[in-house]
Chain A
Amino acid sequence: MDTFIQLTVDALTLGSVYALIALGYTLVYGVLKLLNFAHGDVFMVGSFIGFGTLQLLGGSSHPVVPTWLLLILVTLAGMAGCAVLGVVIERFAYRPLRDAPRIAPLISALGVSFFLVNSMQLLFGATPRTYDTFSLSNGALYYRGIDIGNVRVPLLRIITIVSAFVLMVVLWFLVNRTRTGKAMRATSFDREAAAMMGIDIDRVIVFTFVLGSALAGAAGVLFAMRVPTQVTIGFIAGLKGFTAAVIGGIGSIPGAMAGGLLLGFAESYTQGYISTKWSDLFVFSLLIAFMIFRPQGLLGRADIRKV
């Protein structure tokens, strides 16, 4: 039972991060029908922005603000930095190709991905960077927490899971309870009709990128609070986020959340109960299985085409 509880905590932690990344993919796809393959690298940049902010605020050994405030500021910095990056990417890499064949922005997205990785490598080198949250909190983020049975759920895990869920709730509220969210949903349903109804499509698309990239930035910071970050982490994280979005139903926000959590559970339980060697194999086999048997994903809509 202890193993099950521990693996579930691991799954929720991992799944929350995947869900945040998947949301970015699904938001952009929903509005633009574009698979933004640079999204995983935006996640990576977010983790580095968080690291840089942490150093500016005194680092893990001499922080100039209390730990709780430091973590909030680092997360906000990651989100803000990535939001700006998202706007820049949209403006220069995707907007000029909006009316081009669908493969063109896809190729552009791949180019942006390589550009980001190599730029970061030139700027920061390939050495892993650690937030060293252990030293930052004198171990409190690891030793303190809540006990479920014999399993201690450390504070850092709780922060990761709760922060991710709060962000998902905020996103749901923005998309479903605000005028801008309504405009986003209208644009995703039918872009031309939305434009004819007076919706500023450019503004909606920019806002979508702001939201998606900010979530990726948050995911990057939450991830790097627990493990070292380096310029290569974006590839696998992006791939898994994309897998989560597809499994959940690309274009569906609740689907992306569900897909991310499902992926986290699949990975964690496979490592725990089957074999540590097989987790990636299982996860990507799940992707293939969904594509064959349920291509619309868990919560996506099956496309109806007039014949």
Chain B
Amino acid sequence: MRKGVALLLTLTATAFVAATAQAGHRAAAAQTASISCKSTMKIAFVTPLTGGAGFLGQEQSSWAKYAVKTLAPKLGLKIQLVLGDTPVEQGPAPAQALAQKYVADKSVVGILGPSTSGAVAASSQTYFAAGLAHISPSATRTSLTKGSPLEATAAFLRVVPGDYIQGPSDANFMISQLKVKKVVILDFQEPYSVGLADAVETTLKAKGVTTIRLSAPNTTTDYSSFVTKVPNDADIVFFPTQKPPDAQTFAQQLLEQGKKAKVFGGDGSNDSSAFKAAGSYVSNFAPDITGIKADAGIIAGWKKDNPGKPVGSFGPPSYGAVQVLLSAIKLACNADQGVLKARHDVLRHVKQVVIKNWILGGTFKFSTKSNDPLNAKFYIFQIQSDGSYKLVG
């Protein structure tokens, strides 16, 4: 019996070691395998397609598909977009699993996303080791590109500004436009909201605003007791959730208890179908592109492919991220004379990309000091009585 168990354990260990070595070999082989620029290359989009943040991934992927469809032929590239789902409720595990999968697939030459900061932190090392550039249209956590220790690697870039801009931007809007005296700040005991809440709190306190900090577990669904702690004279409750229905619930429970404070959500709560409490505020890293004349053709084409859907503000940065990635692939192909010798060739060319008539307005280029866009900003919207979002800052 004992010998049998020992033999079984030995065989299992051997099989495990062999499989690990094989996977490592495949990953290494995938990293170094060259690929013809005339063949179909894949880019993978890692985003939450289901779950509380599924609205984000659905919107982003529709714009990414449109971008690949229209931009790849113009650049002379054959690109296949593959989608990977990372529901926020499942933590970092899906992002890690997808990273392994795409690293092992030699036809994947670049990554869009991950869309969420937690997924970036969980998978950036894997992509970096494989030389895969991963460009996010929405992961805004400051520590991904700034501070110490950095949560992402040199292979991570983003086309939207970080929370180090969002936090002070939101706080300064509250001070200068809303003339706040007392603000309640909530976090959800996870990195995105804690980082953003800290940034807002620091700026508000520095300008003499009274702040009250509350902390709710990320699994909270009923905020009644938290609403009870909101003073009657509080002006704003800063609510950096990644689940817009929770922002709506909180706003309703504020009304229920007769509190005058308005909800101010971060970019994670930007969803007009779920968060529509009139008078609330939302900040986001992209403006409403329907106001940008140069985008009229893009918008018309996207609407044709997506009838009945609103333009939104998460989708256009995804279009932009595709544009940056495809441009980098093109530059790498040109430099390598039509054969992409290694994945990190794309990574080497990404920061050289400059896009005039950028979908979010102006010209896009990366900062020389970080992997963030140069001169990017956040935009503030107020929710109207009909549920629409009006740009106010």
Contacts and interface: CB of A to CB of B under 8 A. Distances in A.
Interface in A1-51: 3, 6-7, 10, 13-14
B32 to A, nearest CB: 37
B389 to A, nearest CB: 18
Interface of A is mostly: helix
B246 interface: yes
Contacts of B246: 228
A230 B301 CA distance: 34
B221 A272 contact: no
Contacts of B226: 271, 276
Interface string B241-256: 0010110110010011
Interface residues of B, number: 31
Contact of B54 (A125, A223, A267): A125
Nearest to B276: A135
Contact of A14 (B55, B219, B224, B248): B224
Nearest to A277: B215
Contacts of A58: none
B52 A128 contact: yes
B85 to A, nearest CB: 9
Interface in B244-281: 245-246, 248-249, 252, 255-258, 274
Contacts of A130: 245, 248-249, 274
A152 B255 CA distance: 10
Q: Most A CB atoms within 10 A — which of B51, B219, B224, B255?
A: B224
Contacts of B233: none
A142 interface: yes
A244 to B, nearest CB: 15
A259 B263 CA distance: 34
A10 B224 CA distance: 6
A123 to B, nearest CB: 12
Given A127-B52, A128-B245, A276-B214, A228 B228 contact: no
B189 interface: yes
Interface in A146-203: 151-152, 154, 156-157
Nearest to B255: A142
Contact of A142 (B217, B225, B228, B256): B256
Nearest to B49: A125
Contact of A276 (B50, B215, B245): B215
Nearest to A271: B225
B229 A272 contact: yes
Contact of A232 (B55, B89, B255): B89
Contacts of A10: 224-225, 228
Contacts of A7: 225, 228
A280 B50 CA distance: 27
A154 B248 contact: no
Nearest to A121: B50
Contacts of B54: 125-127
Contacts of A143: 255
A134 interface: yes
B229 A276 contact: yes
Contacts of A128: 52, 243, 245, 274
Most chain B beta-carbon contacts within 10 A, residue among A13, A130, A228, A268 = A228
A227 interface: yes
B216 A276 contact: yes
Contacts of A157: 256
Given A142-B255, A233-B221, A272-B228, A228 B249 contact: yes
Contact of B50 (A126, A268, A271): A126
Interface string A253-281: 00000000000000110011001110110
A226 interface: yes
B245 A236 contact: no
Interface string B132-155: 000000000000000000000000
A142 B54 CA distance: 28
Interface string A61-104: 00000000000000000000000000000000000000000000
Contact of B224 (A3, A13, A230): A13
Contacts of A111: none
A55 B216 CA distance: 31
Given A226-B222, A233-B221, A280-B217, A127 B50 contact: yes
Contacts of A236: 219
Contacts of A277: 189, 215, 217
A163 B127 CA distance: 54
B131 interface: no
Nearest to B48: A126
Interface in B72-96: 87, 89
B255 A125 contact: no
Interface string B112-134: 00000000000000000000000
14 contacts: A6-B228, A7-B225, A10-B225, A125-B54, A126-B51, A126-B52, A139-B255, A142-B252, A152-B256, A152-B258, A268-B224, A268-B225, A276-B226, A276-B229
Given A228-B221, A277-B217, 5 more contacts: A125-B50, A126-B54, A127-B50, A223-B222, A272-B225
* 4 nearest A-B residue pairs (beta carbon): A271-B225, A126-B51, A228-B245, A10-B224
Interface of B: 50-52, 54-55, 87, 89, 189, 214-217, 219, 221-222, 224-226, 228-229, 243, 245-246, 248-249, 252, 255-258, 274
